[in-house]
Amino acid sequence: MKHKTILMAVAAACMYVCVLSCQQSHSGDHMPASGGEPEKKTASTKPAPWSQDVRLEPGKYVVDEPESVVEYMRTLCEKYNVKIALHDDEERNLQQIWHTLQLLDDYAAGRRSFYPEAEVREVLHSITFELGYAYSHCPTGDEDLDSLCADPFFFRFLEQAVRLSPKVDFVSDFHCADGTAGILNFHEWSPAPLYSFLIFHTEHGLRVTTIGKIGQNMFDKLFHLSDSMGLQYYLCSYNGNGSLPFYKGVFFRQYLFMHEGDAALAVASQQEFFMDTPPEAPDVRFNPNQLRWDICTKKGTVYIRMEGTPSLRLHLDGMTSRFEVIQ
């Protein structure tokens, strides 16, 4: 899938409401709830506010830590003319977005006891629902997304929601076995992927990074790995075994991130199947102990590697980690 710029003329032709200015928004009459303070995060050195390109994807943008996410997002809209993607009942959806931002502010300030998980998920779904519609229905060429599109609002909203979340579970679809990281997938209206994000713990709270290119990846497994030097990694995995039947075109994807400080650095990826002519509906199995993928057949409850087929091996070696096909 190629990136498409969201233009107002195209939006009218496609009969959808894609962008509304934040200047039309308001936060409503929210009465903050009382309760204990969320877990405090250690302060970290950050770039000056708005010194970065606001169009950057999560992972490429150093997360800002504003005192008020409401004012932060409003400034984003007003200063850079960033828009919000809305579909159908746009006024209600717009109010819900700013209401949820206020809830995040209340939680961060200790005026609210519980993280607004349901509200955050509803807003993320609402925004990506419209972005997915735009990507699916309104192709306008292969230009890079620019400041007229609604991606920057979604990216910065997601970063703030993740930063303030006390648990990976609240902002992910599933997590690795030890709960230190999770994956959040979004799709277009068509059977195609849209966004996939890795959510992970740092000493300053949760952070998020984009996995691979937009529109090309979906994942259903996540492994927390370490090497002999104690370096930590996250393997985002999809073996193409039909566990995500909706996502046509995503057959085999492996992305390896090395966890370092507040960042998860993409160090290796395998984006193609490791056999030129695979058997029909191959059953690929990953052995996390051997860091190896094999094409298998099942006999009873046991998976046996098919003779004559190659395997894929993962070598953990810091920034030079790699995948290797073994014949």
Of 144, 143, 152, 170, the residue nearest 64 (C-alpha) = 152
> What is the torsional sign of CA 246, 181, 121, 152?
negative
DSSP 8-state assignment for residue 61: B
14: in domain = yes
32: in domain = yes
Residue 160's domain comprises: 1-166
88: in domain = yes
115: in domain = yes
Reported in sequence order, the residue ranges of the chain that DSSP labels E, i.e. its strands, are 20-21, 83-84, 174-175, 181-187, 193-202, 205-210, 221-226, 232-238, 253-260, 263-270, 283-287, 292-299, 302-305, 311-315, 322-326
Of 164, 210, 206, the residue nearest 70 (C-alpha) = 164
Q: How many domains does the chain have?
A: 1
Question: Tens of pLDDT along the chain (327 residues)?
Answer: 444 333 333 333 333 334 444 444 433 333 333 334 444 444 445 666 677 888 899 999 999 999 999 999 999 999 888 888 887 777 888 999 999 999 999 999 999 999 999 999 999 998 988 887 777 665 554 344 443 467 899 999 999 999 999 999 999 999 999 999 999 998 877 667 789 999 999 999 999 999 988 877 889 999 999 999 999 999 999 887 655 554 445 578 899 999 998 899 999 999 888 887 777 767 889 999 999 999 888 888 888 998 888 999 999 999 999 999 998
27: in domain = yes
321: in domain = no
Contacts of 108 (CB under 8 A, 6+ apart): 38, 69, 164
Backbone φ and ψ for 230, nearest 5 degrees, come out as: 85, 5
pTM over 0.75: yes
233: in domain = no
117: in domain = yes
